[in-house]
Structure 1
Amino acid sequence: MSFDRLELREILNLYGRKVAAGEWRDYAIDCLKERAVFSVFRRTSEVPMYRIEKDPRLARRQGAYSVITASGLILKRGHDLARVISVLDRSSLRVVG
């Protein structure tokens, strides 16, 4: 399983913006048997801050794409990659108080 060219372009566009902002530093792509994972790191020696996962087995239910934190919390899941990864954009994050 892997990301296709359009999916990678969408993810790498977000990654480029976050690197330019100094928030992210490194990434890894894992192509596993049943899912593809794009992991984002603040530092190379750390565990990933976020994982963007594509799991086609979930496509008909909750959606094939998900954004998962280092602690395993699913921030967003859905059928449209752009909408799912938008949860990581600074402009869409807001303080709740």
Structure 2
Amino acid sequence: MNASPPFHADPDRVVFDRAELGIILTVYGRMVAAGEWRDYAMSFLRDVAVFSVFRRAAEHPLYRIEKRPKLRGAQGAYAVIGMDGRILKRGHDLPTVLRVLEKKLIRAVE
């Protein structure tokens, strides 16, 4: 019998760790509950991990949450990017960066 080897992270790809995903999915869940978001996708590439959120699955993403470890020493590894490609917030602390999305939630509920 040839058992499959245990899972090992690919050192050539950037990924979100469990804590980072928990933070992102908490915000995602609140936005889904508010009816703002309906779907998401994740991409793990050589230089960046991307969590994209959609209003509908067939659209372009409304926002991209990116992790770029190479920018950790400069402006910060995390960024929220709008549909038009503008960086809405960048920083070293993921919860702080994601607050830009919370402001959108407050506006949607008012």
Pair in the same fold by TM > 0.5 = yes
1:8 is aligned to 21
Q: Pick from 39, 49, 55 the counterpart of residue 42 of structure 1.
A: 55
Partner of 2:65: 52
Q: What's the CA shift string for 1:24-69, capped at 9, x where partnerless?
A: 0000000001110000000000000000000001000000000000
DSSP 3-state at the match of 2:88: strand
**Pairing partner for 2:45 from 29, 32, 38:** 32
**4+ residue runs over 2 A deviation:** none
Unmatched segments (≥5 aa) in structure 2: 1-13
Partner of residue 18 from structure 1, selected from 31, 34, 54: 31
- RMSD of aligned residue pairs (Cα, Å): 0.8
Aligned length: 92
TM-score w.r.t. the length of structure 2 is: 0.82
- State the distance in 1 between where 2:65 and 2:41 align: 11
